[in-house]
Structures are given as structure tokens and as C-alpha cells.
Amino acid sequence: MATITRTLTASAHVAVAVRLKDPERETVARRNLAEAQIADAIDRALTTAPPLNPGQIRTLTTLLKAGGQR
């Protein structure tokens, strides 16, 4: 059974935007692709890791709320 991840779907949207030469659509699609890649990575990590403690969850939440700002 093939698994279609969020990342693959979002990648397809980027490809369509590039093919259409639509910069605004491409920007949105690339932003959505980044979100999908992060979500898929989190899902993969959480399925194999032991449960996180509250402090670890707070640390990760802080990272996400910062949105890449340092």
C-alpha cells in the first residue's frame, strides 16, 4: 500500500506553481511544503521515541512558536 505523505502532496503543489510560473502561488506552496516536511518529521520522530516529558514538550513548543526566528 502506497503511503502519500503531506510532504509528497505539498511537493506536487510546488511543482504546479513552478510550472504555471506563478510566484505568489509558489511562495504559498513552498510555505506549505515546509509545514508538511516539519509535520512529517515530527510524526516520524514521535512514533519511534518514548513519550516526551512536559519540559521537552515546552521546549519544542517554544521552537515552533518562534517560527524559525532566533
What's this model's pTM, rounded to 2 decimal places?
Answer: 0.78
Q: What pLDDT was estimated at residue 1?
A: 36
Average pLDDT over residues 59-68: 89
Q: What pLDDT was estimated at residue 13?
A: 96
Q: Which of 39, 18, 40 is nearest to 28 (CA)?
A: 18
Q: How confident is the model over 40-63, as pLDDT tens digits?
A: 999 989 999 999 999 999 999 999
Q: How confident is the model over 13-40, as pLDDT tens digits?
A: 999 999 999 999 999 999 999 999 999 9
Which amino acid is it at 57? I
C-alpha cell at 41: 518529521
